[in-house]
Chain A
Amino acid sequence: MKTVDVAVVGAGPAGIAAARAAAESGAQTVLLDENARIGGQLRWRISLALEHTGGFDIPAGPGPDISGELEHQLAAVDNLTIETSTVAWGLFAGNVLGISTEDAAAELQARSIVLATGSTDIVSPFPGWTLPGVMTARAAQIFMHVHRVLPGRAWVILGDGEEAAELEADLERSGVDVIARCADPDQIRASGTNRLAHVEIGDAVYEADSLAIALGRQPDAELAFQANAAGAFVRDLGGYTVNRDDSGQTSEESVYVAGDAAGIATFDELIAEGRVVGLAAAGAPDVEIATARQALTAAGSQRRSNAISQLRLQAVSS
């Protein structure tokens, strides 16, 4: 079985920052991602990616190659290997990751594991939600921005938070119409024969070919839970997620979680937190970790750090 010092799962903002920090402090580091290109949500949340790339220094548009720029930057980092199109599907005793590529499965052991697995979109079912044409906000963003295809031309957005506003701006940039927005999943009904054709919101009926569910994002820390890490539901972190110490370590020794997987965060926060966790996972000197932690405090939101403290207290009392 192949063994490395640090394995980072997920090459989004937090995972990239963690892998880079770990490798730069001398640890043999592998960065895994299931997609063919690195960047994670930076690839589809382009308006945020171009405004808030923190330490990544991606040149402003038009036409930025976000994945290419990140690949170029990481190519200059010693001790770092990037494995794309590689799914980490299991985390077993002894820090062993089950990984698979298109035609092979393997095990990968690491002294420390950093899970930077991001988030999934929150979905709430409603009548007609399974019709083709109804999709998550993330699917809409990926098809428009990564695949460069319009899922439809007449849109209804379900949701009234930041994600809904972000998607509305994205759709307008792609030149299509947002004809209605609905805040409440209990007030919406979708209908059509084989495909979305109408959306009812309360008493109003709209002709629409697409409906995006933009109710927000929730942490995805499934691999940590598979490894028995303790967690709890904390609304201000986006849902159910892991309890961690201030280095990002879970209740399972040398299993760390960084980024949205541990509580939905801003881009600057993701990058700063990835750096703290990457240094800790690599066993970097305390003084370096302390400096990175100060940068995280400066970049972080009070609301998220309060929520993380609340999760720790819940873990202590349970």
Chain B
Amino acid sequence: MSEHRPSADMQSRRIEQHPLLGKLAEADQVDITVDGQPLTAREGEPIAAALMANGIDICRAMPDSGESRGVFCGVGRCSDCLMTVDGLLNVRTCVTAVADGMRVETQHGLGYWEDGQP
């Protein structure tokens, strides 16, 4: 690991400074919850980016095997980043923007609707 790391805050995985892109622009804060825990996001960013910035890399557990999945393709094609959002199953978190008050939950298997039905 290199000694100096000018662009990345050690606490956060936000890239505040970038040699080509410059300083990260100001953005309004959006408050969401992830498995019940409060978390702050940047307005307009995808859910998966907000999670990653806060150190969360696991989006769901596969049916049967229970293996973890996280961001893989980043463009809404592969389905690895599916989570349950505001009770809606199978939301592609890499291409779905955060919204204030959003409830994001790790999806287990195929997920459960709010009435408890799989």
Q: Which residues of chain A have a CB within 8 Å of any CB of chain B?
A: 34, 36, 46-47, 50, 61-64, 120-121, 130-136, 138-140, 142-145, 147-151, 153-154, 173-177, 194-195
Contacts and interface: CB of A to CB of B under 8 A. Distances in A.
Contacts of B44: 36
SS class, residues of chain B in contact with chain A? loop
B87 interface: no
Contacts of A143: 49, 52, 71, 74
Interface string B42-83: 001110010011000111000000011111111111001000
Contacts of A151: 13, 52, 57, 71
A274 B66 CA distance: 45
Contacts of A147: 45-46, 49, 52
Interface of B: 1-2, 5-8, 13-16, 18-24, 44-46, 49, 52-53, 57-59, 67-77, 80, 94-95, 97
A50 B18 CA distance: 14
Contacts, number: 120
A148 B88 CA distance: 27
Given A36-B44, A149-B13, A174-B18, A132 B8 contact: no
A174 B17 CA distance: 8
19 contacts: A61-B22, A62-B19, A63-B22, A120-B75, A130-B72, A132-B70, A139-B72, A148-B14, A148-B21, A149-B14, A149-B49, A149-B53, A151-B13, A151-B71, A154-B1, A174-B15, A175-B5, A175-B7, A195-B68
A132 B52 contact: no
A136 B73 contact: yes
Given A62-B21, A120-B77, A138-B73, A175 B13 contact: no
